[in-house]
Amino acid sequence: RDVAHVCVDFLKSNPSETILMLASTEHMPKNNKLLFDEVFYNYIQIHHENWYLDSHIPTLKECRGKVVLFRRFYSRKYPFGID
């Protein structure tokens, strides 16, 4: 099981909680067909309703039951999360 599924399961069991997630890329991939932001965006679409992807810091009311994304990677195509 991957970390996103663990987070979603936790939030389903604890809907009043919030998870803060920092995502970053630490190396430059070679010969990939997709950029990191494309892969990450496609990945979070599986449970998009459980992600807070706005660019401002939310209130607890806005993000209860969600994973708040703090993004530390370049995203030209998909501006999402708090940078």
Please write the tens of the pLDDT for every residue from 13-50. Answer: 999 999 999 998 877 777 888 888 888 888 888 899 99
**Which residues lie closer than 8 Å to 4 by C-beta, 6 or more apart?**
43, 44, 46, 47, 67
51 HSE (CA, 13 A, CB side)? 23
User: What Cα–Cα distance (Å) separates residue 75 from each residue in 15, 30, 35, 53, 72?
Assistant: 29, 17, 9, 13, 9
- State the pLDDT at residue 36: 83
Please write the tens of the pLDDT for every residue from 46-70. Answer: 899 999 999 999 999 999 999 999 9
- State the pLDDT at residue 8: 94
